[in-house]
Amino acid sequence: MSETQFGIPPKPADIAMKYSLAQTSPTAVQAVELVKDYGSGESTVHALRGVNVSFAQGAFTAIMGPSGSGKSTLMHTLAGLDSATSGRILFEGRDITHLKDNDLTLLRRESIGFIFQSFNLLPMFTAEQNILMPLTLAGKKPDRAWFARLVATLGLGDRLGHRPNELSGGQQQRVAIARALITKPTVVFADEPTGNLDSVSSAEVLDFLRTSVKELGQTVIMVTHDAVAASYADRAIVFSDGRIVADQPDPQAERMSELLNEVRLDLLQNTVSANVTAEQN
């Protein structure tokens, strides 16, 4: 486009700015010293203990780690669904840490797709209505070709008129995935998107996420406990007790299983030595 939306040609400085930003800042979302505590006093849970991580635009990143290590908390704070205790979150270079609710809602609606572990579909609406809901809420018309491609790729063609309780878990999750992608968001966050799928549908969904990264430049950040699922990603980060303990490029399933076993063993040894210390005192 050679003109702005108001018909005024952009100033050279604006073009240079846009260009240099695109070149020097290929980061979709970034956490800086991100801390998230739940509760206070002695019962405080330190879910994130000062996390520093950048997610590149157009990359597929897997997040792994034991249950309770902070994976969902990281996703929720990065996506503006939950507030940080301290630290900062940059979304396409913009500091969103202290955005007001209205601005956060807009950001989520325009730029973020979230696939929840528990689907979060609206029970009163059909699959098609659920998929289109983000656009309906924003008062926007769907791109029918994109809708058709999502529906076909996710194998939902003959389920569009069904309500969630008439769909299997796998079908509900595929509806949730289509809903997250319908707005063509900058970043898709997926929390265990294949957790309720059999291995065949799981492979289809992972192939679809990978294709959306490779062909559409989609940024995908996916939590998974499955080393095979992680192997579809370009990079895998391993969490333990609120910290990143490994950052693996081109993750292979076998390597990720090894890493996860090491992390579990470390946690076990720490727990045992903490108990021994407690008994000695």
Q: Note the residues at the interface with ligand ADP (CB under 6 A).
A: 38-39, 45, 47, 65, 67-73
Closest approach, Cβ 90 to ligand ADP, in A, equals 20
Q: Which does 67 bind (CB under 5 to 8 A by kind): ligand ADP, Mg ion, none?
A: ligand ADP
Closest to ligand ADP by CB, 82 or 143: 82
DSSP 31: E
Closest to 187 (Cα-Cα) out of 54, 47, 24, 50: 54
Q: Which does 170 bind (CB under 5 to 8 A by kind): Mg ion, ligand ADP, none?
A: none
Closest approach, Cβ 45 to ligand ADP, in A, equals 5
Closest approach, Cβ 69 to ligand ADP, in A, equals 4
Q: Are 35 and 63 in contact (CB under 8 A)?
A: no
Closest approach, Cβ 174 to ligand ADP, in A, equals 22
Q: Which does 201 bind (CB under 5 to 8 A by kind): Mg ion, ligand ADP, none?
A: none
Closest to Mg ion by CB, 128 or 191: 191
- What end-to-end distance do the CA atoms of the chain give, in Å? 70
> Which position's Cβ is nearest Mg ion?
72
Closest to Mg ion by CB, 150 or 176: 176
Binding site for Mg ion (CB under 5 A): 72
Closest to 77 (Cα-Cα) out of 67, 69, 87: 87
Closest to ligand ADP by CB, 77 or 218: 77
Dist CA 123 CA 163 (whole Å): 6
* Residue 161 token pair: 């008129």
Q: According to DSSP H, which parts of the chain are helical?
A: 12-24, 71-78, 101-111, 127-138, 144-153, 169-181, 199-216, 227-230, 253-280
Closest approach, Cβ 223 to ligand ADP, in A, equals 7
Dist CA 218 CA 166 (whole Å): 31
Closest to ligand ADP by CB, 73 or 171: 73
